[in-house]
Structure 1
Amino acid sequence: MFGKTRATPSEPATPDPVALERAVSEGVLISRAAAVVSVANSIVIRALRDHEHFDHERTREAVRTILGRLSAEQREQNERIGGERAKALKAKGRSRHQHDYRRGDDDTLWFREKTYTAVAERLDDLQSDDEFVGGIVAAAVERAWGDVGAVIVTKVSAVEAVDPAYHDERDQRLRALVDEDIARLLAQPPPGSDAPRSF
C-alpha cells in the first residue's frame, strides 16, 4: 500500500528525454530527406515536361505543404501505434512474431507514440522556419540539377557511342568518296549524250 508507485498501464513512465530527442531528431532528418526528394522530382517534372521556369517562392510553398503532409503522416502513425498498444495490453500468451505485441512491449510502444507526436509537432514548427525551408529548397535544386545533368550526359554519351571509330576512319571515307564515288559521277555521260563528261 505504501510501496513504490507504479505507472498505470495507459500511462507508462516518462521516456528518457535524451533518447526521445535523439529519436525525434532522426525522424526530422528522415522527413527532411523525403521532402528534398519530393521537391526535386517536382522541379524536374516542371522543367522537362511542363517547360516551366523555376519559381523560388512557389517551391518554398511546396516545401511547407510537404512538411504539413509529413506531419500528418506522423500523427497517423501515432494513432496506429496507439491501437497496437491497446491490443497489446489485452493480448494473452506469447508473441508469434516481432509485430505481435504483448503487455511487455508497452514501454516501447509508448515511446514510439511520444516520438511520432513530437516529430509531428517539430515539423509543424519548421514549416514557418525560413532557414529550414530554404535549406530544403537549395538541396532539392542541387539534386534536381544533378538528375537533369545525368540525363543529358547519358543522352550525349549514347549519341557519341554510335561508332567509336568514326573519327579515326574519316580520312579513309573522304578518300573513298573522291576516288570512287566522284570518279564514277565524272565518268557518266551528260543526259541525252553518249560522250563522256569532261571538265
Structure 2
Amino acid sequence: MGRTKDAIAEGLSIATAAARLTVRNRILVETIARGGQFDGEVFADFARETLRALAEEQDQAADRVTAQRKRAWGRFSDSSGTHDYRDRDTRNLRRRARQSRGVAKELREFAADPERVGILVAAAREAAWGDVEANLSQRLDVEGMTADADPDYATMRRARMDALRMVDLARLASQAKKRAKEQAAARGDDSEAPAPKKKKSSPA
C-alpha cells in the first residue's frame, strides 16, 4: 500500500507541474503577447479546467490498463511485445490502474480547493513574469553586443531571436494600440473643427 501511495504522490506532483506550465503559458499568451489584463479568477477557472482534464486523462489510462489486464488473464504463453501482457502481468496492471485512479481523484480534489488553485495560479504567474524579466535582460545584452565581440554571435542569433519574440510581440502590440488611439483622436479633432469662414469681397 505504501508503494501505491508513493506512486500516487509522484503522479500528482508531475501532473501539478504540467498544470502549472500550462497556466503559465496561458498567462504569457493572454497578458503579454495579446496585451490583456491579468484576472486571477479567469486564470483560476482555466487552472481548474486543466486539472480536471488531467484527471480525465488518468481515468482513461486506468481504463486502458484495466482492459489490458482482462485480456491478459489466463494467458500463459510467451509475450510477443511490450504491451502483449500475460497472466503474470495482471498484478502489476491492477496496481497501475489503481495508481491512475488515485491520481485522478487527487487532481479533482485539487481542482475543488480554491486555496490550492490560487497557489498554483500565483506560482504560474511568477514563472511567467520571470520569463519576461529574463528575456528583457537578454535583450539588453544582445543590443549591446556586436558580432566582433561575440565569436558565437552567428550561431546563437536564432536562439536569441526566439527568446526575444515574446517581448517584441508585446512591444509591437503596445505600439499598434498607441497608433490606433492617435489616429482615432486625429479623426475626432478633424470632425469637430469648424469650417473656415468665407472672406467677404470688398466692393469695387
Q: Are residues 1:146 and 2:117 paired?
A: no
Aligned to 1:103: 87
Aligned to 1:194: none
Deviation string 1:67-98 (CA, Å, 9 cap, x unpaired) is 11011001110111112112212544112344
Code of the residue aligned with 2:78 in structure 1: it is R
Q: Are residues 1:37 and 2:36 paired?
A: no
Code of the residue aligned with 2:141 in structure 1: it is S
Aligned to 1:156: 140
Q: Are residues 1:126 and 2:132 paired?
A: no
Q: TM-score, normalised by structure 2?
A: 0.68
Aligned to 1:24: 8
In the alignment, is the contact (CA less than 8 A) between 2:76 and 2:88 conserved in 1? Answer: no
For residues 128 and 76 of structure 1, what CA distance do their matches in structure 2 show? 20
For residues 74 and 143 of structure 2, what CA distance do their matches in structure 1 show? 66
For residues 146 and 75 of structure 2, what CA distance do their matches in structure 1 show? 66
Q: Are residues 1:88 and 2:72 paired?
A: yes
For residues 102 and 16 of structure 2, what CA distance do their matches in structure 1 show? 15
Q: Which runs of 5+ in 1 are unaligned?
A: 1-15, 166-199
Task: Give the paired residue count.
Answer: 149
Code of the residue aligned with 1:51 in structure 2: it is G
SS in 1 for 2:101: helix
Judging by fraction of residues, say which structure has more helix.
2
Code of the residue aligned with 1:20 in structure 2: it is T
Instruction: Call closer, same or farther: CA 1:163–1:114 in 2, change over 3 Å.
Output: closer
Aligned to 1:78: 62
SS in 2 for 1:100: coil
- Sequence identity of aligned pairs in percent? 32
How far 1:162 moved relative to its partner? 2.9
Deviation string 1:87-116 (CA, Å, 9 cap, x unpaired) is 212544112344331100111000011111
How far 1:142 moved relative to its partner? 1.5
Q: Which runs of 5+ in 2 are unaligned?
A: 150-204
For residues 147 and 53 of structure 2, what CA distance do their matches in structure 1 show? 50
Q: TM-score, normalised by structure 1?
A: 0.69
In the alignment, is the contact (CA less than 8 A) between 2:72 and 2:90 conserved in 1? Answer: yes
Code of the residue aligned with 2:115 in structure 1: it is E
Aligned to 1:187: none
Deviation string 1:56-77 (CA, Å, 9 cap, x unpaired) is 1111111111111011001110
